[in-house]
Amino acid sequence: MSSLTVVRKLSLAACLLLSLVTAIAKAEPPKILTLRGRTMGTTYMVKVFDPPAWKADIAAEIDAELRSVNAQMSTYLKSSELSRFNSWDSTDWFPVSSQTAEVVEAAIDVSKATEGAFDVTVGPLVNLWSFGPDPKTRAVPDAATIATLRESVGYQNLSVRTNPPALKKATPSLKVDLSSIAKGHGVDRVINVLKDAGARNVFVEIGGEVRTIGDKGGVAWKVGIENPATAGLSNNGLSLAAAHPLTDEAMATSGDYRIFFEVEGKRYSHTIDPRSGRPIEHDLASVSVIAKTCMKADAWATAINVLGADAGLSAAQSQGLDVLMIRREGRRFSRVGTGSLAKYAVEDPVSEIEDSALGAQEMRPWLQRLMPTLIVTMIGFGIIISAMAVGVIFGGKSISGSCGGLGGKKNEDGSVSCSLCSNPSDACKELRDKMETETQNG
C-alpha cells in the first residue's frame, strides 16, 4: 500500500470520526418537562422525562383532574361532595363518586388495622385544635369540650359501599376529613392521567407526597427526606436525612415540626390522636413511608405518626411497609428504619450530621452579617491603594511616612511631597513649616 493511499484512508477515517462527533454534538438531549401549580391548599410539581408528543394540553388535563379531586373531597369547599355529606343530617346512604368511595374505603381499612389511630372522622377535633377549616383560636380547649366532640367521632360510625358508590353515617353529626389521604390519592390520579397520555417516566409531588414511574434515562428519580433537625434552613446542604432512589413506588412523610402552635412554652402538634382527642406528644419527629400507591403511603405515614415509634414500627413490619422514623432525643435525633429505608437508620452518622447542621445554623447568620462589611472594606482599601498608586506614578514620588503616602523627599522649592495630598495632615504641615524654617536659617 502506497503512502498516498494510507494518507487518503486516514483522512477518510478522520472525516467520518469528525462527522460522528458533530452528529452527537448536534443531537438534542432528552428534555424534562416541568409543570407547577397549586391544589388542596398546597403546591404540586410534575416532571416528565422525554415527554411524548401530547395530543392535548397536558397541563390543563392535570389541572382539571386536581380540581375534580377538590370538588369531590375538599372540606374547604362548601359545594364539595364531602362537605355536602358532612352537612347531611340523615343516616341514609349518600351518593358519592366512585373515587370518593374508594378513598374512604382505603381509609377505613387503615383505621381497622391501627384500631383507630388513623381515623378520618377526627375532623371536629382537628377544628377544635385550630388546625381545620374553621377560624383558628390557637387556644387549648377544655377537657369537657374534647369529651363531647369525641362522642361524634369514630370510624365505626362510617360505612361505605362501592356499587353504587355511597357513604353512610350512624350518627347525623359525624363528619369526614380526608386531608390525611387525599393528597396521596391526588398524586395517583395525576400519575394515571400522564400514563394514559403516553408518559412513561414521571415524577409527581403534591405537598411533599411523591410517586414516580420509570426513570430519567436510566437514572432513578430521587426523593429527599427532610431532616427535622435542619427544617427551616435554606440551601445549607444538610437539610436532607436521605435522598432515596424511587422507581414505580410512592413515598409520603408525616411530621410534627412544621405545623404546630405553642402555649406557655408547650408545643401542640397538628396531628391529633383520635383515641385521646389531643395532639400527639411522643418523641417521633417524622415518618416516611414507601408503598405502591401514594394514597396508601400517605395514610400510613399519618397512622404511624399517631401510633408513635414502638407501635408504629410493629405496624410497619406487620404491613410490610418500608419506613424511616426519626425520633427526637433532646437536641439530637435518632433513626429507625425498615425495608429499603433501613439503610438510612445509622446512628453515628446521624449524630454527626445533626451536630454539623447545628453548627452551620449558628455560623451562617454570623458570616451573612459580616459579609457586606467585609466587601465594603475590601472595596475601600482597593480604592485607596489605587489612588496612592496613581499619585506615585504621576507624582514620580515614592511612598513613605503617614501623611497620605507622598512625603519624605524634597521638591525643587524645598517643600515635601505632602503637598500633593488632597487633605494634608497637621503633621505634614508642621513638617513643611520646619523645613522652610531650616532653609531660611541656612
Number of domains in the chain: 2
On whether residue 210 sits in a domain, the answer given is yes
Determine the Cα–Cα distance for residues 325 and 285; give it in Å rounded to an integer: 8
Q: Is there a cis peptide before residue 164, judged by omega within 30 degrees of 0?
A: yes
Determine the Cα–Cα distance for residues 286 and 212; give it in Å rounded to an integer: 21
Same domain, 142 and 267: no
Q: Residues with Cβ < 8 Å from 239, sequence gap 6 or more?
A: 226, 227, 230, 231, 233, 357
Same domain, 99 and 201: no
On whether residue 396 sits in a domain, the answer given is no
Determine the Cα–Cα distance for residues 10 and 2; give it in Å rounded to an integer: 13
- Position 329 scores a pLDDT of 84
In terms of residues, how long is the chain? 442
Residue at a domain's end among 310, 331, 350: 350
In CATH, what number is assigned to the domain containing residue 142? 1.10.3980.10
Q: Residues with Cβ < 8 Å from 39, sequence gap 6 or more?
A: 66, 67, 69, 70, 186, 206
Q: What is the block-wise mean pLDDT of the chain (442 residues), using blocks of 10 residues?
A: 55 54 55 94 95 90 97 94 95 98 98 96 90 81 92 94 97 93 97 96 96 95 87 60 94 85 84 92 93 97 96 95 92 91 74 33 39 58 61 50 46 50 49 61 56
On whether residue 321 sits in a domain, the answer given is yes
Determine the Cα–Cα distance for residues 232 and 361; give it in Å rounded to an integer: 10
In CATH, what number is assigned to the domain containing residue 310? 3.10.520.10
Task: List the domain range (segments joined by +) for residue 99.
Answer: 89-176
Same domain, 225 and 268: yes
On whether residue 156 sits in a domain, the answer given is yes
Residue at a domain's end among 317, 350, 383: 350
Same domain, 83 and 230: yes
- Position 399 scores a pLDDT of 44
Determine the Cα–Cα distance for residues 156 and 83; give it in Å rounded to an integer: 20
- Position 164 scores a pLDDT of 97
- Position 405 scores a pLDDT of 44
Same domain, 340 and 285: yes
Same domain, 160 and 187: no
Same domain, 164 and 305: no
Same domain, 143 and 278: no
Q: Alpha helices, DSSP H only, in 115-239? A: 123-128, 143-150, 182-196
Same domain, 245 and 341: yes
Residue at a domain's end among 116, 141, 176: 176
On whether residue 20 sits in a domain, the answer given is no
Same domain, 195 and 275: yes
On whether residue 262 sits in a domain, the answer given is yes
- Position 181 scores a pLDDT of 97
Helix axis angle for 98-113 and 294-307, nearest 10°, is 30
| Residue with grid cell 362501592, as numbered in its chain | 162
Helix axis angle for 182-196 and 294-307, nearest 10°, is 160
Same domain, 190 and 322: yes
Torsion of CA 305, 307, 308, 313, to 10 degrees: -100
